[in-house]
Amino acid sequence: MATPTFLAMYQQLIANPSVSALDESLNMSNRPVIELLAHWCESLGFTVEITELQSAPGKFNLLAKRGTGEGGLMLAGHTDTVPFDDSRWNFDPFQLKQHDNRLYGLGSIDMKGFFAFVLDAIKTLDEQGAKQTEPLLILATADEETTMAGAQQIARHPDLKPARCIIGEPTDMTPVYTHKGHMSSAIRILGRSGHSSDPDRGLNAIEVMHLVITKLLQLKEQLKNKYSLSDFAIPYPTLNLGHIHGGDNANRICGCCELHIDLRPLPGLSIKELQILLLEAIAPVNAQYPNSVEVIDLHDPIPAFSGSTDSALVKLAEQVSNSKAVAVNYCTEAPFIQQLGCETIVMGPGSIEQAHQPDEFLAIEKVAPAQQQISYLINELCFS
C-alpha cells in the first residue's frame, strides 16, 4: 500500500471516526486510524508496533521506527477526537471539506491532520534522496481527549529512548516549551433527606455545599496570590466551578449535592500539593459535618509540563518558526512523553482556537508554510 498524497491522507484520517468520550454511548475505537497509519508507515520502511491499552481495551497506540539505536526524533500525536454536536456543524465532520480556503473536518487540527504533514514530509525527503542518519519515530496515541491513557502507557515503554520529541498539537507552528496541568474533581456532599417542613430532621446538602463553595473561592484567591509565573498569560493557577447539581424537589431536604471543579496547576506546583491544598480548604466543613464531604478525581490528574527555552530543540524550533517559544494554559501529553527523557516541545499546524469547536478547520494558507517547517525540522534532526 503506497503512501497517498497529502490531501488523500488527510481525507482518509478524517473519514475514520475516532471519538473518545467518557460516555460509552459516544466512545469509539481508534483502531481504523491506527491501521491506516501502520500501512502508510510500513510503506515508508518503518517497523510498526501496535499495542492495545491495558486500561482501555479496544484502544491502541502505534509506535513506528525507522533506523537503529537510541536517540533520534519522535513525532507524536493523538489519534482520537472529541465528540461533536452534529446540529452545530455546517459540514459532515467525517468528510474533509474544502471551502472558503479552509479544510474542514473533525480532527483537521486536533490533531489527526498532523500525521499527514509528517508522513508527507518524510515521503518527500525520501524522494529527494535525503539520507537518514538518526532514528526517526512516529508515535500515535489513544484517548488523549479523555484519560491520556495512551501517553501514560507509552511513558512506561521499556525500550523507547528518543533524544527529542515534537508533539503536533495545534499551536500555529509556534513552539510551546511549558504548559499548565489539569485536575478535575467532584466535590460530593452527602446529607440526609427529609421533609422540608422539618429542617432539623435532615441535613441539607445544598446548604453544606454553600459552605464548601465559600472555602473554594478562598482557595481560588489563595492560589492567585501565592503562586505566579510570568511566562504565562494567566500567571497563576486557576480554579473553576464548572458544574453543580443536587436535590430533586422544592419540598424535600436535599440529600446529595455534587460540584465539579477544574484546577490548572503551574509548573512547580505538583498535583499532590494541589490535592492537599484542596483537602485542607474543605477540612473545616468536614469537621463541622463529619464524613459529609467527599473529593473524587474525575480523571487521572495531568501534571504541568516544564521545559526550558535554552534547549537545543526549542532554539531550532524558534529559528524555523521565526517566533519565540511560549507558555500556554491548556495541557497536552507532553509531561508523560517527557518522562522518556527526551527534549520535548509542542508545535503543530492549526490554531488552538479551532480545537473542540464546531466546523473545526485548517486554513489552507497555512498548509505550505507548515509543510516546509515540519520538513525542515525532520531534515535537520534526522537527515544529512
Quote the CA–CA distance of 133 and 149 in Å, as a whole number: 32
User: CA 358 → CA 92, 97, 172, 353, distances in Å?
Assistant: 10, 13, 19, 11
Helices within 104-166 (DSSP H only): 113-127, 149-154
The three three-digit cell numbers of residue 121, written as one number: 514530509
Nearest 10 degrees: Cα torsion 343, 234, 151, 375: -50
The three three-digit cell numbers of residue 260, written as one number: 465539579
| Residue 380: Cβ within 10 Å count | 12
Helices within 75-112 (DSSP H only): none
Amino acid at 368: A
Q: Has 262 been annotated as catalytic?
A: no
Measured over all CA atoms, what is the biggest interatomic distance in the chain, rounded to whole angstroms? Answer: 84
Q: Before 28, cis peptide (omega within 30)? A: no
Q: Which of 110, 120, 144, 172 is catalytic?
A: 144
Amino acid at 360: E
DSSP 269-280: S-HHHHHHHHHH
Q: Which of 80, 120, 333, 359 is catalytic?
A: 80
Handedness of CA 359, 364, 369, 372 (dihedral sign): positive
Quote the CA–CA distance of 144 and 149 in Å, as a whole number: 7
Burial 295-317 (b: 16+ CB within 10 A, else e): eeeeeebbbbbbbeeebebbebb
Quote the CA–CA distance of 116 and 110 in Å, as a whole number: 12
Quote the CA–CA distance of 222 and 26 in Å, as a whole number: 38
CA 277 to chain centre: 25
Q: Has 144 been annotated as catalytic?
A: yes
Amino acid at 381: L
Judge contact between 209 and 186, C-beta under 8 A: no
The CA radius of gyration of the chain, in Å to the nearest whole number, is 23
- Mind telling me the catalytic residues? 80, 144
